[in-house]
Amino acid sequence: MISGHVTICKIYKDGTKEVVLDKANLVTAGLGSAFLDIQMGGGSTNSSDYAPHYFQVGTGSIGYDTSPAREASSTFYQLSAPLHWSSYGEDTDLVIDKQYRGFNASTENTTAPYSYTELLNTSASLSAVVFSGLDQYFAKVRRGSVTKFFMDSFESEIVLDENTANGISISEVGLFAKNPKGFNQDSPLLMAYKNFTAIPKTSDISLVFHWNIGFLGISNSVDNYYKGVPSPPTDDPNFGLTLGIQTR
């Protein structure tokens, strides 16, 4: 089973590290849609287009069911309230791009004219679904921030430094694949999402999001029970820096 896990840490200016979240995240329907494209030969032919390349943080929360019977509740492709480019701050070191966010949409109409609506916590038959999108702002996952690839999973790290999104209370984060449909221009597709108690972002701290996604053997339904594993110390020279192919 494909699942995910995210750890969020506050890093203070003196180097002190505080773990504020260490739980499973929701792997969304976008990742499943990308796998379907691979199997059916309908998506991009470049493997890099399926890798995490963009992210968003926001101030809202998408509600979803964490019970085992939550198939439809993972069917969403957006954050509730993603930040506008201006909210990241003029001095941020992030690269902010406007991209065409992809999503699946469906219609209940059986005759023309057809009106399609983005799927949000509901499922639909494949024959009633089309791929669409709209422009939104995304931050790029920096080269080297996909820190490790394993045989069955990957790790990725996102950093909001001391100059980024100050004065904003962050309560959601989403990780997006680059361009699974293989369009001429990137169309990011949400692959993992996590909402959490709002964290006020100030210039006194950096926020570090550490992701694990793959065949982790950890169901999202254990979110309320799984406490994670101890994080490596911040003075570990390999923490967040290793790039390569490894086996566990």
Taking residues 208-217, what's their average pLDDT? 74
Q: Is 168 within 8 Å of 87 (Cβ atoms)? A: yes
What is the pLDDT, as a whole number, of residue 70? 41
Q: What's the whole-model pTM score?
A: 0.73
- pLDDT 10s digits, 125-167: 544 567 677 899 999 987 655 544 444 556 788 999 999 999 9
What are the Cα distances from residue 27, in Å, to 87, 211, 220?
Answer: 26, 11, 8
Mean pLDDT of 166-174: 96
Chain CA centroid to CA 57, Å: 9
Please tell me the chain's helix, strand, coil percentages from 3-state DSSP, rounded to the nearest 5: 10, 40, 50
**Which of 46-50, 61-65, 103-107, 212-216 shows the lowest per-residue confidence on average (mean pLDDT)?**
212-216
Average pLDDT over residues 167-196: 91
